[in-house]
């Protein structure tokens, strides 16, 4: 049987040495708890972070005027958040991350060197290191089109019943998501995945 609690460290190498390393939860449960987890982590950050209203920003990070960051959030070293970006619902940026203009990041952890270009939405997700998401690409988090909105995932010949109705994706390290692609709610993308421009990834099992 698939070990859902081991999915995140199996696809995201820096998870193993991160502040989340001792948390053993399925990725959809972790994003559901991320606000509480971030508040705990903020309390233990070193003085290189400045914290205002549950938003902790490393001294080397840049947040342009016009960006909105709602707590709890941790913005790590050398991160860049462009004007017009909107971060909410519990956001963690490890280091060297870029959130481009007019991008929205909700209830998501991103690891070192990952980037949203611009005009993106990423919701309720865990994004590995060195992931590039091109302009207009979407990682959706809610099955609005279904009467039963519980997220179910077809993965390696099994059907995973997450028991939640909001979850975007677990995206492995070094993945590339092309412009205007859509990743439907409930996706598990292996390390080095390539999603082409305008491509749809939907791992909902066939009924």
What are φ and ψ of residue 150, in 5° steps?
-60, 135
Rg (CA), the chain: 16
- Is 118 among the residues known to form the active site? yes
Does residue 10 sit in helix, strand or coil?
A: helix
Q: Rounded distance, CA 27 to CA 188, Å? A: 10
What are φ and ψ of residue 178, in 5° steps?
-75, 165
Catalytic option among 24, 29, 58, 118: 118
Does residue 123 sit in helix, strand or coil?
A: strand
Q: Is the CB of residue 187 less than 8 Å from the CB of residue 207?
A: no
Q: Rounded distance, CA 91 to CA 74, Å? A: 6
CA 68 to chain CA centroid, nearest Å: 17
Please give the positions annotated as active site.
Answer: 118
């Amino acid at each position: 049987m698939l070990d859902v609690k081991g999915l995140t460290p199996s696809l995201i190498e820096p998870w193993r040495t991160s502040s989340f390393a001792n948390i053993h939860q399925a990725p959809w449960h972790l994003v559901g708890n991320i606000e509480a987890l971030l508040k705990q982590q903020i309390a233990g950050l070193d003085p290189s972070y400045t914290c205002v209203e549950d938003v902790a920003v490393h001294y080397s990070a840049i947040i342009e005027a016009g960006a909105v960051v709602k707590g709890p959030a941790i913005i790590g070293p050398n991160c860049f958040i462009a004007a017009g970006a909107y971060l909410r619902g519990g956001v963690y940026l490890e280091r060297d991350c870029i959130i481009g203009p007019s991008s929205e990041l909700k209830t998501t952890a991103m690891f070192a060197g990952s980037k949203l270009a611009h005009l993106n939405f990423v919701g309720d997700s865990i994004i590995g290191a060195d992931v590039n998401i091109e302009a207009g690409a979407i990682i959706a988090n809610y099955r609005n089109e279904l009467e039963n909105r519980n997220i179910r995932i077809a993965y390696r010949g099994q059907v995973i019943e997450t028991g939640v109705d909001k979850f975007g994706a677990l995206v492995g390290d070094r993945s590339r998501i092309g412009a205007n692609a859509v990743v439907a709610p409930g996706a598990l993308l292996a390390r080095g995945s390539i999603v082409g421009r305008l491509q749809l990834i939907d791992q909902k099992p066939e009924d």
